[in-house]
């Protein structure tokens, strides 16, 4: 008789348990010399205000097309998705930048960053793998 009671309690606990919130992180290509970024530097790279890393190499911005991590990044940047895209289109039109690479999944984003020198991405912290390194934002 104790087994059904335990199963019933487990169901109640599961019903009221809150899922762990995903934590996103900035990742860069594993060969990058960047050890950390300020909030302003993050915005400058993602909004196209800075096009090169401190060592002079080109920054390659890659973003998710949509999803929770994409929305969290837009929130950090203080932009909606359409404002982000419009800002980049202006840079392209004036010859001051190239559109960020867009991918469908976090796994595709991690793979792109891993194979692309100078690449920067924003993903769920659990997705970071070999070939990329997580960079703290202060």
pLDDT score for 9: 43
Contacts of 25 (CB under 8 A, 6+ apart): 122, 123, 124, 125, 128, 134, 135
Q: Rounded to an integer, what distance in angstroms lies between the CA atom of residue 135 and that of residue 138?
A: 10
Contact (Cβ atoms closer than 8 angstroms) between residue 116 and residue 27: no
pTM here is 0.82
Q: What is the pLDDT of residue 13?
A: 40
In the predicted model, residues of the chain with pLDDT beneath 70 are: 1-22
Residue 2's pLDDT is: 52
Question: Structural domain boundaries of the chain?
Answer: 21-135
What lies within 8 Å, CB to CB, of 115 at 6+ separation is: 131
Q: What's the CATH class of domain 21-135?
A: alpha beta
Q: pLDDT of 31-46, one tens digit each?
A: 999 999 999 999 999 9
């Amino acid at each position: 008789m104790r087994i059904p009671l335990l199963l019933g309690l487990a169901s109640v606990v599961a019903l009221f348990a809150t899922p762990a919130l995903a934590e996103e992180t900035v990742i860069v290509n594993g060969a990058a010399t960047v050890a950390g970024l300020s909030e302003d530097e993050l915005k400058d790279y993602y909004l196209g205000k800075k096009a090169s890393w401190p060592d002079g190499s080109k920054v390659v911005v890659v973003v998710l097309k949509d999803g929770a991590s994409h929305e969290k990044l837009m929130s950090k940047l203080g932009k909606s998705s359409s404002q982000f895209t419009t800002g980049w289109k202006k840079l392209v039109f004036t010859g001051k930048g190239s559109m960020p690479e867009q991918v469908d999944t976090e796994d595709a984003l991690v793979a792109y960053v891993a194979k692309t020198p100078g690449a920067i991405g924003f993903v769920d912290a659990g997705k970071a793998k070999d070939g990329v390194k997580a960079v703290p934002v202060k």
